[in-house]
Chains A and B, each alone.
Chain A
Amino acid sequence: MGSNFKATYHVDLVFVIDATGSMTDLIDLVKTNALNFYPDLMRVMEEKKKVIDSLRIKVVAFRDYIEDREDAMLRTNFFTLPEDDMVFRDTVNSIEAFGGGDEPEDGLEALAFAIRSKWSDGGVKRRQIIVVWSDASTHPLGYARGASNYPKSMAVSFDELTKWWGDRRDGGYMEDNAKRLIMYTPDVPGWSDITKTWNNVIHFMSEAGRGLEEADYHQIINAIANSI
């Protein structure tokens, strides 16, 4: 056709994982899903004959700043797959479910860290995707502001976090056309507020306190693959 042009996709994924005690029965499934994500996504993309030429994954595991102090938030840099596969696997496998105290948890702070990731600006087409797994509601943003390890540069309110996410008029920290938020969480305060007000969101609503085992993991994979 007289062109050597080939569309290239750069895909960045951030997994935001609730690692509190209530997730004990579910964490292995979430970890398995997270670890299978790369090969399963690539398989689906290959079936569709779409080529991703750069795929990176980052992990944010969260608990509760007041209850869990230095264990409240685990954040990694992006792993480039398949090159960093071993380190990525070790990191995911090291996540254990404990702490958190009573529901709710600090899921919105974890989401804030995910939004402010150093996203790729390469490729002809980009996707910046955040996937959240949790079985609990979230504290209002800033609830744990008094904790000594609470991050100084955190969004001060849900409204500010909404600005960080951005919309078609006001770009946030992510590219409006590229970003996607896929939540596998209950329909409870925090997550449901996002579903009502943010753009580019798919919310698979599990039942609070259990429900992650209901995950139609392949449906989530397909939702991502089809949005690329």
Chain B
Amino acid sequence: MSLRAQTEDLLPDLVVCASKERVKGAGEDAFALQYSDSKHGTGYVAVFDGCGGMGAQKYAKAKNQSGARLASNIAADIVDRFYAMPNGGFFLDGKDAERLEKELKKGLLTVKEAISEKSAFKIGGDLFRELPTTMSLIVSKLGKDGNLYCEYLWAGDSRGFVLDQEGICQITEDDLESDEDAYSNLHNDARLSNVVNADRAFTIHEKALKLENIISENGTKPTMLITATDGCFGYLRTPMHFQHLILNTLMRSTTEKAWEQSLIAELDKVAGDDCAITIAIYGCQDFETCKRQFTKLYGMHNTMYIKPLVNEEDESKAAALWEKFKPSYYRKYVQKRR
């Protein structure tokens, strides 16, 4: 699905989302997004990835669905309702994470109590959780000053990014047991240290950004706010290939709908997991403008980072290119609230 802001200048110009289930009817990823005039342009995009290993337990009272599948869908629903509450939702005030964490805990606990049964055996161990899911959520609001105010909220290894004309930048920090960067974790596959769940403590992290002059007298700065589950980036060769995947599918498409379909088709080829991605785009007016504004970056990135790795199986070459790309991938934006 996609939507285009028509009635309110402060809404994103485009919002795009795509998701893919590996096993039909058993997908463990979910997404949610809402932008509403009634919230004065404040809205969000989000993805959730039910943790299949931790949440393998099936619940007879919930149509025998796994804890992982239930968790991601319930969390998405809780966020939807949180946003829609009269006088509620996100305020970009530094307390959204705390309020949402409380809602998620309460909502998941209620569901857990409703579906739990006295089973013949208990499950224990640190790898087991009741209703476990990751979350990456970006709240955004375009200010009347032309700056874009964002709040990245997350738990686990689903990620939130900015993609502007400087390239992709990961804003969230993965909750991992060991110290990995985006490239090393493609190989080392570290365990998660923090996920949303119904039986143990968890934390929703928060990072506030001010992206300056998205709209100014000098023109617009096209900016994508991206949330993605690990199925979207965890099976690619390098983090550079994730930027390439987004821009390559954009360049090949003629409409938002076609872009979404292209994203799904490409993710289906490479991902060994369910996947979900949402993208809110500001500063581009319409789809064709968006393509045009990212054409130069796409070409440069392809030449510098993607073509040198085609037919190149030597991993040291990929590692060297990652070292070159890394400072930009982890660049800092102004951290400031409204």
CA distance A86 to B56 in the complex (A): 31
Give the dominant DSSP class at A's interface.
Answer: loop
Whether a CB of chain A sits under 8 angstroms from the CB of B41 is: no
In chain A between 178 and 207, which residues have their CB closer than 8 angstroms to a CB of chain B? 178, 180-181, 183, 187, 195, 198-207
- Among B58, B189, B269, B302, the most chain A Cβ lie within 10 Å of the Cβ of B189
Which residues on B sit within 8 Å (CB–CB) of A125? Answer: 187, 189
CA distance A177 to B51 in the complex (A): 16
How far in angstroms is the closest Cβ of chain A from B188? 5
Whether a CB of chain A sits under 8 angstroms from the CB of B87 is: no
Q: Judging by beta carbons under 8 Å apart, are B23 and A48 in contact? A: yes
CA distance A162 to B236 in the complex (A): 35
CA distance A43 to B177 in the complex (A): 30
Q: Give the bracket for the number of chain A residues in contact with chain B.
A: 35 or more
Interchain pairs with CB closer than 8 A, number: 123
CA distance A180 to B53 in the complex (A): 10
Q: Judging by beta carbons under 8 Å apart, are B189 and A5 in contact? A: no
Q: Judging by beta carbons under 8 Å apart, are B52 and A222 in contact? A: yes
Whether a CB of chain A sits under 8 angstroms from the CB of B144 is: no
Q: Judging by beta carbons under 8 Å apart, are B123 and A205 in contact? A: yes
Give per-residue flags for B146-176: 1 if the beta carbon is below 8 A from chain A beta carbons, else 0. 0000000000000000000000000000000
Whether a CB of chain A sits under 8 angstroms from the CB of B221 is: no
Q: Judging by beta carbons under 8 Å apart, are A201 and B178 in contact? A: no
Which 3 A-B pairs rank lowest in CB-CB distance, beginning with the nearest?
Answer: A226-B52, A227-B53, A5-B237
Binding site for A on B (CB under 8 A): 22-23, 51-53, 56-58, 66, 68, 120-128, 177-178, 186-191, 235-237, 241, 244-245, 248, 266, 269-270, 272-273, 302, 306-307, 309-311, 313
Binding site for B on A (CB under 8 A): 1-5, 7, 47-51, 124-125, 168, 176-178, 180-181, 183, 187, 195, 198-207, 211, 214, 216, 219, 222-227
